[in-house]
């Protein structure tokens, strides 16, 4: 049964989440004399009827694996397809659909756990995940650790949809900077093309902060995806901001720090019809996801890194969302 959790801290932040999908329901931050809602969200009872991974923790492997198949040391594993013939976000019954367990709960921090059985969605081996959400000053810290009983690609991320305006509207009015000089071009299904990562160019170059609506759909890759849905290979280390998002009114900025090599920028291109917390339906482009992760389709493509976690080793993903009010 779903359990609801509310975290607060002395800085005035409040984070609401639930154990189903470890999904975030609301995040408010102080901006002047207001508490500004910065996340899209739905009513808990509506969560399982949405298909857009609304603020969920996705895995066992976030993003896409082509043809839903992986190979390792002579073994072939057929995964559950969840987007056409490809495996998206861990399969049809991924971690975003699971009931997570509460390990510990404090005023400003909660730790959850999840056990995934051998063969779950086709993935080899058992996988045990520990996930912590914590409020630290003006930051939301997400810390994920995982172990496996057999070699398996592991890649988890928070699929949070942000809109920093504090009201519903077009997130393309936000300014965005991404500290990356390379990205992965994709085909019509979002699978990285066979070529190696490419230099950012024209409308895909986000190294200088600019309004997302500028040059909108002016590049063939943006037309292919109906907006941004691309993985950027970060130039920054964990001490530098991987990305910076600023509200349309310029009163609130969110910086992203992570130890992951990539960040998927997704502008909510297929949000239309998802339930909102006020009972109405979201429209496309009302929220943006900045999903720190390993690179998509990398289990069988060494040029995209090695996402295979081995028994005895620990996967450790840490992402920090920092909020700065003007």
pLDDT tens per residue across span 253-277: 999 999 999 999 999 999 999 999 9
Question: Is residue 196 over pLDDT 90?
Answer: no
**Residue in 181, 199, 160 with CA at minimum distance from that of residue 56:** 160
Average pLDDT over residues 151-173: 98
Q: How confident is the model at residue 237 (pLDDT cuts 50, 70, 90)?
A: confident
DSSP label at 225?
Answer: H
Report which of 112, 195, 134 is spatially closest to residue 7, judged by C-alpha positions: 134
Give the model's pLDDT for residue 187.
96
How much is the pLDDT for 256? 98
Both tokens assigned to 196:
């190696």
- Collect contacts of 235-241 with beta carbons under 8 A, ≥24 apart: 235/179, 235/180, 235/181, 236/179, 238/318, 240/179, 241/177, 241/179, 241/322
Tell me how far apart the alpha carbons of residues 199 and 219 are, in angstroms, rounded to a whole number: 14
Task: Say whether 159 is catalytic.
Answer: yes
The arithmetic mean of pLDDT across residues 279-299, rounded, is 97
pLDDT(238) > 90: no
Residue 236 has pLDDT above 80, yes or no: no
Average pLDDT, the chain: 97
Catalytic residue selected from 159, 174, 230, 317:
159
* 266 marked ligand binding residue: no
State the average pLDDT over residues 211-221. 97
CA distance 281 to 277: 9
Does 255 qualify as catalytic in the annotation?
no
Dihedral sign (CA 295, 229, 320, 277): negative
With cut-offs at 50, 70 and 90, classify the pLDDT of residue 321.
Answer: very high
Check the annotation: does 78 bind a ligand: no
Per-residue pLDDT at 136: 98
Q: Is the pLDDT of residue 194 over 80?
A: no
Q: What is the mean pLDDT of residues 218-230?
A: 98
Residue 160 is assigned to a ligand binding site: yes
- pTM, to two decimals: 0.97
Catalytic residue (one of 89, 174, 291, 317): 291
CATH match of 4-172+264-325 with 2.70.98.10: yes
* 55-92: pLDDT as tens digits: 999 999 999 999 999 999 999 999 999 999 999 999 99
> According to the model, what pLDDT value does residue 239 have?
81
Q: Is the pLDDT of residue 195 over 90?
A: no
């Amino acid at each position: 049964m779903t359990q609801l959790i509310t975290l607060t801290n002395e800085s005035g932040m409040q984070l609401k989440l639930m154990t189903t999908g470890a999904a975030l329901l609301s995040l408010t931050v102080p901006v002047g004399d207001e508490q500004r809602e910065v996340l899209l969200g739905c009513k808990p009872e509506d969560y399982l009827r949405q298909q857009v991974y609304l603020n969920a923790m996705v895995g066992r492997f976030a993003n896409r694996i082509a043809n839903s198949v992986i190979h390792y040391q002579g073994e072939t594993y057929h995964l559950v397809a969840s987007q056409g013939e490809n495996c998206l976000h861990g399969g049809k019954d991924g971690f975003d659909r699971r009931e997570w367990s509460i390990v510990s709960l404090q005023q400003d921090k909660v730790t959850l756990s999840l056990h995934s059985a051998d063969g779950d969605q086709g993935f080899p081996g058992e996988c045990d995940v520990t996930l912590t959400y914590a409020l630290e000053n003006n930051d939301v810290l997400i810390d994920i650790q995982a172990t496996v009983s057999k070699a398996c690609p592991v890649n988890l991320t928070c699929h949070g949809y942000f809109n920093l305006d504090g009201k519903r509207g077009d997130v393309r009015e936000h300014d965005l900077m991404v500290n990356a000089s390379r990205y992965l071009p994709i085909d019509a299904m979002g699978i990285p093309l066979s070529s190696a990562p490419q230099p950012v160019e024209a409308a895909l170059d986000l190294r200088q902060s600019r309004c997302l609506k500028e040059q909108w759909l002016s590049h063939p890759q943006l037309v292919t995806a109906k907006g941004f849905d691309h993985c950027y290979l970060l130039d920054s280390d964990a001490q530098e901001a991987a990305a910076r998002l600023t509200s349309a009114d310029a009163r609130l900025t969110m910086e992203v720090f992570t130890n992951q090599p990539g960040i998927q920028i997704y502008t909510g291109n297929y949000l239309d019809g998802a339930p909102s917390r006020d009972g109405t339906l979201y429209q496309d482009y009302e929220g943006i996801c900045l999903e720190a992760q390993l690179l998509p389709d990398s289990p069988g493509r060494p040029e995209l890194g090695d996402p295979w976690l081995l028994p005895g080793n620990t996967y450790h993903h840490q992402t920090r969302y920092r909020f700065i009010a003007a």
